A = this chain, B = another copy of it.
Amino acid sequence: MNVLAIGAHPDDIEINCGGTLLRYRDEGHQVFLALVTSGNIGSNLLPDRETIARTREAEQLAAARFYDAQVRFLRYDDEGLLDSAQARRDLLNAMRWADPDVIFTHFPGDNSTDHNVTGSLAGRVMLCLSGKNVPSDVPPIQKRPSLFFWDTPAGISFEPEAYVDITRAFERKLQAVSCHQSQLAWLSVLHPHALPERLRIQARFRGLQGGFEYAEGFRAFRLHGAMPDFSLLPLK
């Protein structure tokens, strides 16, 4: 099975579904990552946007090795993502490139701007995957994947429909997250909780809800012709 995760910024994928991706990879599935932006404002410490982007892409590639994943960078500007023909086409390219059975991305109700635009864009192209007249560089695919939305930052306004047990994957998830060295430093400025601690709290809480030690929570996108199949999640 092919599994695609679409993150707004390098580190979003590891933070929100790293454990689930590790579960898929452990079961022999192929993981693909698409990064909409390269997070080029995501530092007050690095000198300029280009350096930040270059640094973060390298960090993302390192993290991707934890799931033996292929990676595709769409290179939009951080905090600058907009709904546009080009963005839809690039998302469509990424989806066709991965030929996925399951797709993970941000929840459209997430109030972080790149997050909700990414989540909306993913939904917008779901019915185009097989359309031969929809312009993209990658040829149409025949699969009709399920689209799942991962948790919001600190779980604000997000009630999971399903929980994936990541107990055995959690420490590796933290290792994958720790590839994003540039983020560990400066995010501590923004938030009183260090990132790994934050992730532990959230995974423990979702685990508490779902009946596991550590878990990641998900909701599904629903549209006629693109209804979700929850049994594709590594629920057991």
Contact = CB atoms under 8 A, between A and B. Distances in A.
Contacts of A128: 41, 79
A40 B134 CA distance: 9
B205 A111 contact: no
Interface stretch (A22-30, A94-102, A173-181, A185-193): A185-193
A236 B208 CA distance: 28
Interface in A72-92: 77-80, 82-85, 88
A162 interface: yes
B41 A224 contact: no
A131 B44 contact: yes
Given A79-B128, A111-B223, A211-B192, A159 B162 contact: no
Given A202-B208, A212-B192, A153 B82 contact: no
Nearest to A44: B132
Contacts of A40: 133
A192 B128 CA distance: 18
A130 B186 CA distance: 12
A124 B113 contact: yes
B231 A236 contact: yes
Interface residues of A, number: 66
Contacts of A52: 133
Given A80-B88, A111-B221, A159-B157, A227 B198 contact: no
A134 to B, nearest CB: 5
A42 B154 CA distance: 33
Which 5 residue pairs of A and B lie closest in terms of their CB atoms, listed nearest first? A153-B224, A111-B223, A41-B133, A154-B224, A205-B205
9 contacts: A40-B133, A79-B127, A79-B128, A82-B83, A130-B190, A152-B224, A154-B209, A156-B224, A192-B211
Interface of A: 40-44, 48-49, 52, 77-80, 82-85, 88, 111-113, 123-125, 127-128, 130-134, 152-157, 159, 161-162, 190-193, 198, 201-202, 204-205, 207-213, 221-227, 230-231, 235-236
